[in-house]
A and B are shown apart, each in its own frame.
Chain A
Amino acid sequence: MATTGIQNHERVPENLKKQLALAVRSIQWSYAIFWSISAGQSGVLEWGDGYYNGDIKTRKTIQAVELNSDQLGLQRSEQLRELYESLSAGESNPQASRRPSAALSPEDLTDTEWYYLVCMSFVFNIGEGLPGRALANDEPIWLCNAHFADSKVFSRSLLAKSATIQTVVCFPFLQGVVELGTTDLVLEDHSFIQQIKSSFLDFPYPIISKMSSSSAVNMRNDKDLARSALDPKILDTTMVPVIGCQVFEMASPNDSSNGIEPNQLAEDSFVVEGINGVASQVQSWQFLEDEFSNCIHHSMNSSDCISQTLVDPGKVVSASKDDIKAIEKCLQEVQECKDTKLTSLDLRGNDLHYQSVLSALLKTSHQLGPNFQNCNQESSFCSWKKGGLMMNCKIQRDGIAQKLLKKILFEVPRMNDDRLLETSEENCIKDDVYRPEADEIAANLHVLSERKRREKLNKRFITLKSLVPSISKFDKVSILDDTIIYLQDLERKVGELESRLELPELEGRTNRKQKDTVERTFDNYGNDKISNGKKALNKRKASNIDEMEPEIEYVVLKDGSIDNLTVSINDKNVLIDIKCTWREGILIEIMDAISNLHLDSHSVQSSTAEGVLCVTIKSKYKGMNVASAGMIRQSLQRVVWKC
């Protein structure tokens, strides 16, 4: 298949693509295809050349050179051809990497492009199919509503449906058939065909002096890149005048940089060809028309020299409809050399043909099962029947559904987990693990209530955290841990206090009681004043700490110490009450510590009695660095209990 394609390419004149391009672009249709008489099989039309002008999904920007839309179109058509060839090459040689060089991949194609691509695989017997009948009757066929057409009339109707190709026109041209198609509905108009034929395609071909075959080979090697680099300007200028005009007689001495002999070129579009070193194509074009002696062409394809020589006479003879029998032998020989696949494909029905091509292109022939039974190899799968093969089904072995899967998911982790017995569960999840909030797009009641429950839970945790003073981390586990420790501590203290009730009253306890009341009043005052909930929370925290402090003091007192330290915070005001053993310089140290905490003391009262220092400091926060009550207490404790 691939080799045929390449040969086609060689055989069909290069400038035909340009002509097709001009034709289809001027009428804004989707594609143009030239079906040429197959060199391999007599009486068969196959893909000669084509130009795609329809919708394009993606265009991979591989080219380095900026191309205009015309060249982009040409390039796209080339790429589609390349893709087809690489795909069909992959089919005949599955070991080779699937798409070696194609710039496009099947995923990049629109439906219309698929249609165009799959068309490349079609062949028509003369007299059959749209192109075949057009050639046999030697008259144009205009098909409207192609996508609804009977598959006997238009074998690609299903394909056309998927690509929404609505109008297809075929008319014989030269020794083949030109097919044009569009996604729009265009009513039959014979003058329209005539116009296309005359204005774009029926160029009179000038006679070109023969060239040496070696230069022809060189020129042939000049690939598209070189061409595209050269011709934008010329193409642009020629586009306009060609439309509607008949013939430009424009003899221009051609000083091409490729070292081609100066050619007498008449038609303007050939100027392009000549400069680009594809003049040999013009020559081969021309030899179809009249001359028989032209054999330069053959040397172009050195690898396929013999078959090429066989092909060319065959083609030319059939073209001139002369002495067909004499050549038939040669043709048969050629045919034998060819890939037999194409022939066998052709023998099948068109639907099967389409399926097999698609499955080959998609490489899913094994998986597509019964619908694609015409694949070369038989699949192990058979088509599905309702309730079929019931006797073979042993449903639910051992009564356990999905047994092995469940073992893998449920039991194997447990096997692994046995080692983990000594490591605690929470070790497995780190603190910095993200816990994404699940966003539900749909209003699902279950999910919604679950989310609400979680939100409530989080709120309660925050409340709990604000109630417990010494919480260092803000994750749920440490909140709970700290709460537990705190509660245990409180319980212990309650126990101690209860036991103390039986003891004789200690001096200072009443004092403390009074102070507590004072502080409470103070707090209440604060509460009234501050309406902001968040600050109230802060303050509550502070007052909680305050409430706890005297209790600590009692413990301390019980131990025989007289040290006492309270810190209460109200908005930005901090009240510090210290009672401790006096030593030299302690007051200065306390003041230093307070200023280190960014507290601005505005009132200090101190008294010393019997070696005990009592200090009451009223201060304010300065700046933004706000130390918590706990921090202030800690740093003061460090100073006070240093000795």
Chain B
Amino acid sequence: MENSSQESHLRSENSVTYESPYQLYAMALSSSSASRHQRIALGSFIEDFNNRVDIVSFDPETLSIKTHPSLSFDHPYPPTKLMFQPTSLRKSSDLLASSGDFLRLWEVRDSSVEPLTVLNNSKSSEFCAPLTSFDWNEIEPKRLGTSSIDTTCTIWDIERGVVETQLIAHDKEVYDICWGEARVFASVSADGSVRIFDLRDKEHSTIIYESPQPDTPLLRLAWNKQDLRYMATVLMDSNKVVILDIRSPTMPVAELERHKAGVNAIAWAPQSCRHICSVGDDTQALIWELPPVAGPNGIDPMSMYSAGSFESLRLDDCGIILFKIP
């Protein structure tokens, strides 16, 4: 439930603990400007309608987390993902998006959070198919892509609040989506494939990986923003992080298999093209440095952190945020 460990020797200068009153899943870091403290949005995981999103702020100088009760708001069902707009165009506020029953946009001001829009991609119904994840385009911050269990991905123009495109991306539920370039995104699905889509050619997609056992769902996807040739994905019930090179489809360039149990989340380092962090059911967070050529015995992680069990993580300039569940 808290994002650090109870063991005292791990309470080093660089680890900060925030204890949330409820179990957490979704989490987002704001792309903070220098003047403001970095904000962290935390989404509760309560298996019920009533859920909460809390905004806390992190001060890297004093290494402390400050709560803002006025910035807490209700969310219907647990948000499946939270994300701040990557490059904030607004001076006084942050834009936060959440996915779940709909894609929702929130304006986080200094002392309040205002719901901006509820985006529904279905014209014929007042409901849209539940969303599993989304990703905000860093290059084109008005563009946002959602993935849904109805096998589609929807590309939104959030400035105008309209659907730019909807694609039937997979044969089964789409579990994660990730932008590479302004018009290129990739997604993973229960059909076990990683596919790349280019908005300029909507008639085709490219399958760059399929899980070795047919129909083993792929749950998570992370595209290396520093080196777009590489992406990483996580299979269901697998302790592997599969590293893909889009130039050699179907054959992973590396499989990182030092976790002793299932992998929950992956994230590439924001500033380095060769480092990736993964967290797993084995209560470890591992940092891997990808060698130019993988050796015969596989790749060992360069460092590890062990405490609790992690379900979500974000890498950012200020460090790594991990969640532990009780």
Contact = CB atoms under 8 A, between A and B. Distances in A.
A397 to B, nearest CB: 7
A435 B168 contact: yes
B268 to A, nearest CB: 10
B304 A381 contact: yes
B168 A381 contact: no
Contact of A438 (B10, B122, B207): B207
Given A367-B315, A408-B78, A429-B168, A383 B302 contact: yes
Chain B residues touching A, majority SS:
loop
A383 to B, nearest CB: 5
Contacts of A95: 34, 60-61
B242 to A, nearest CB: 15
A436 interface: yes
Contacts of A371: 302
Given A378-B12, A436-B203, A439-B205, A446 B127 contact: no
A370 interface: yes
Interface in B168-189: 168-169, 173, 175
B150 A415 contact: no
B195 interface: yes
B309 interface: yes
Interface residues of B, number: 96
A352 B300 CA distance: 22
B130 A380 contact: no
Contacts of A386: 300
A417 B166 CA distance: 20
A492 B132 CA distance: 46
Interface stretch (A420-428, A532-540, A572-580, A591-599): A420-428
A423 B265 CA distance: 33
Q: Identify the interface centre among A366, A377, A413, A442: most chain B CB within 10 Å of its CB.
A: A413
Given A380-B305, A409-B175, A367 B320 contact: yes
B129 interface: yes
A285 B205 CA distance: 64
B138 interface: no
Interface stretch (A57-65, A166-174, A398-406): A398-406
A529 interface: no
B207 A440 contact: yes
Contact of A384 (B25, B301, B320): B301
A142 to B, nearest CB: 31
B2 interface: no
Contacts of B86: none
A503 interface: no
Contacts of A394: 282-283, 309
B269 A367 contact: yes
B285 to A, nearest CB: 8
A433 B264 CA distance: 32
A433 B45 CA distance: 32
Given A97-B34, A416-B77, A436 B204 contact: yes
A367 B237 contact: no
A413 B271 contact: no
Given A379-B12, A393-B282, A433-B168, A401 B300 contact: no
Contacts of A127: none
Contact of B101 (A107, A367, A416, A428): A416
A402 B47 contact: no
A432 B148 CA distance: 17
Contact of A437 (B123, B131, B205): B205
B275 A401 contact: no
Given A433-B168, A442-B250, A405 B206 contact: no
Contacts of B300: 384, 386
A240 interface: no
B47 A404 contact: no
A404 B311 contact: yes
Contacts, number: 237
B150 A441 contact: no
A245 interface: no
Contacts of B301: 384
B317 interface: yes
A368 interface: yes
Q: Identify the interface centre among A378, A407, A430, A436: most chain B CB within 10 Å of its CB.
A: A436
A641 interface: no
Contacts of B66: none
Contacts of B168: 429, 433-436
B178 to A, nearest CB: 15
Interface in B272-306: 272, 275, 277, 281-287, 300-306
Contact of A423 (B60, B127, B269, B303): B127
Interface in B242-273: 249-251, 258, 260-265, 269, 271-272
A363 B275 CA distance: 13
A379 to B, nearest CB: 6
B287 A367 contact: yes
Contacts of B251: 442
B208 interface: yes
Contacts of A395: 260-261, 281-282
A419 B127 contact: yes
A402 B167 contact: no
Contact of A415 (B77, B277, B320, B325): B77
B149 A413 contact: yes
A495 interface: no
A364 interface: yes
Nearest to A402: B262
A439 B125 CA distance: 32
A26 B104 CA distance: 62
Given A384-B301, A402-B219, A408-B45, A430 B124 contact: yes
A434 B49 CA distance: 33
Given A368-B275, A405-B311, A419-B101, A436 B205 contact: yes
A222 interface: no
A403 B300 CA distance: 25
Nearest to B285: A381
Contacts of A367: 269, 272, 275, 277, 287, 315, 319-320
B13 interface: yes
B264 A405 contact: yes
A434 B271 contact: no
Given A363-B271, A389-B304, A392-B283, A434 B202 contact: yes
A446 B237 contact: no
B305 A382 contact: yes
Given A386-B300, A427-B124, A94 B60 contact: yes
A412 B77 contact: yes
B14 interface: yes
B214 interface: yes
A34 to B, nearest CB: 31
Q: Identify the interface centre among A366, A425, A433: most chain B CB within 10 Å of its CB.
A: A433
A96 interface: yes
A376 to B, nearest CB: 10
Given A362-B271, A404-B311, A436-B202, A415 B281 contact: no
A411 interface: yes
Interface in B42-86: 45, 47, 49, 60-61, 77-78, 80
A607 interface: no
B119 interface: no
Nearest to B48: A415
A97 B32 CA distance: 10
A447 interface: yes
B13 A377 contact: yes
A377 B14 contact: yes
B303 A382 contact: yes
Contacts of A430: 122-124, 166
B122 A427 contact: yes
Given A388-B304, A412-B130, 15 more contacts: A367-B272, A384-B286, A389-B284, A392-B283, A395-B261, A405-B220, A408-B132, A412-B78, A415-B77, A420-B129, A428-B129, A434-B168, A435-B168, A438-B207, A441-B208
Give me the 10 closest cross-chain CB pairs, A-B, nearest first. A369-B303, A401-B262, A413-B130, A416-B130, A436-B205, A435-B168, A416-B101, A381-B303, A428-B129, A402-B262
